[in-house]
Amino acid sequence: MRRSASYVGMVRSALGVAAAGVTLCLGALAQAVPAAPKPTTLHAVGQPVLVDCAPVTMSPCMSAVVTPAAATGMPAPVQLPPAAQLASAFRVTGPAGDVTPFYASLGAGPDAADHTNVVLLMIDISGSMNDKLANGQTRFEAAKSAIAQFVDGMQEGSDRIAIVPFESHNVVSTIHGAVYASRKSDAQDQLKALPTPASKNNTALYQAVFTGEESLHNEVESLRHEGVSTGVQPHLILMTDGKNEVLPGDDPQLLNGDLGLQQAAAQVHASHMDTIGIGFGDRAQIDAAALQRLSTRFFYAADATQLLGALHVSRSAVSHAITLTWLLPENSRVALAGRDQQWVPTLRMEEGSTLTGEPLRLLVPATAPPVFDRKASADELNTLYATRPEVNSGWALVLTHGLLYVAAALLLLLLWFWVPRLIWADEMMGVPDRKQRWRSERAATETGLRPGVKAASAVQVRSASLPEGFAPETANSSPLQRSAAQVTQIQSRGEFSRTRLNVDR
């Protein structure tokens, strides 16, 4: 029996040494993976555009898309601020000084098509998560708030996020049932569906990490079967406020003790996945040594602010394309004519560094106002209205344009009624046109009527060679009668005169 016991001890020692050696080798291999390049500049994606922000403001807006890039010019990963604080982290410096963009939105990065980011976020819902922090929130409430901001920065189309709880009951089935959402709304629904921690819940930390690695591995393999064979970046994020604790009444065969820790740690190192451990709460209650062995990156957070910072650091390594929109100081786009608009963007990072980009230049005609490239989106208009309500005073420009239209209408009316009186004064004043009178008499002559009888004036002219009013009286004819309005005209009978009243035939 003693020899058998000694033999068993020697075998166990050999297995322990072998496991430690494998762990060290896997750790060395994991550390040999080259680190992602750090961003050093802001690279402009395309040319900036002029945006019409009416009706919120009549002043033109400018928009550009930038992405963090390394020194080589290639997109690089960056830890961005929360979506609500992203715009305030930017500055654009132009001819009028520094301007803070009123709108900043995360979009798919220029290299997003080459990456598929897969995140499994596991949150501890043991009974101790109901303990309160200094601000009155429970640890669970603070964790949900931080996760909500983390999900808000999700890139739809390139990110897949699953949020699952873990404690000491139904651990394996819950984690294996994780659904990796590709839409932000689905991930938010998973966050809302998290159950409230119960006092009977313990912490199956080792089993959660082990099963989480399996679930993440299965999702990666599923994506590869779907044709996504390159650029898959898996991340496992584990949040806990304590240590591994398995008691009677919990799930059977949960990993526990030193052997359970070794098995879970070996699974992490063998997977070569980015595993991030976050200890949240009282440092004395957290098994930091175990979390460091169970993760490739370990963070400690004493409150909600530090927890949010740890989540941002663990953000995906996919570069982001950021759409910036800011208000130009000019009152209208007409004032932009002939001006060289150059704006330099800068981004203040959370760790204190600053990224600066090349000047964003808006090309405008030298002699004409530029045209708008696009209309502002509904999100841009709502953000502008909420952040800069004073820009709603565009009524002055509206009133100015209205007055110009009224003045133009009055000018048209003046031209319509006054100009004809200048050109055709005789007709407007009731004086007959000489040319028109001559044409009517000429037409009467050609139709066979003698030009001598005018019923209106009762004047009879019997000689075709005498002007009107000079015909001699005869015995058989009634005396000529002339009206008061009759005008005596004496005109020469030039051979080529255009004013001859009668033509000798």
pLDDT for the residue 207? 95
- What does the pLDDT average to over 309-333? 74
**Structure pTM?**
0.51
Rounded Cα gap, residues 307 and 285, in angstroms? 16
Average per-residue pLDDT in the chain? 76
Residue 411 has pLDDT above 90, yes or no: no
- What does the pLDDT average to over 222-242? 81
Rounded Cα gap, residues 376 and 490, in angstroms? 77
Q: Which residues pair with 233 in a beta bridge?
A: 117
Q: With H, G, I as helix, E, B as strand and everything else as coil, classify residue 452.
A: coil
Residue 468 has pLDDT above 90, yes or no: no
Q: Which of 10-14, 15-19, 140-144, 455-459 has the highest mean pLDDT?
A: 140-144
Instruction: Say which range, 338-347, 356-365, 386-395, has the weakest mean pLDDT.
Output: 386-395
Count Cβ neighbours within 10 Å for each residue of 234-249 and write b for 16 or more, e otherwise. Answer: bbbbbbbbbbbbbeee
- Over the stretch 111-122, which tens digit does the pLDDT of each residue have? 454 567 789 999
- Over the stretch 345-359, which tens digit does the pLDDT of each residue have? 999 887 678 889 889
> Which CATH code for domain 41-108+320-392?
2.60.40
Residue 322 has pLDDT above 60, yes or no: yes
pLDDT for the residue 33? 34
Residue ranges per domain, the chain? 41-108+320-392, 112-313, 395-428, 447-505
Same fold yes or no, 41-108+320-392 and 112-313: no
Residue 259 has pLDDT above 90, yes or no: yes
> Which CATH code for domain 112-313?
3.40.50.410
Q: Are 372 and 333 in contact (CB under 8 A)?
A: yes
pLDDT for the residue 215? 94
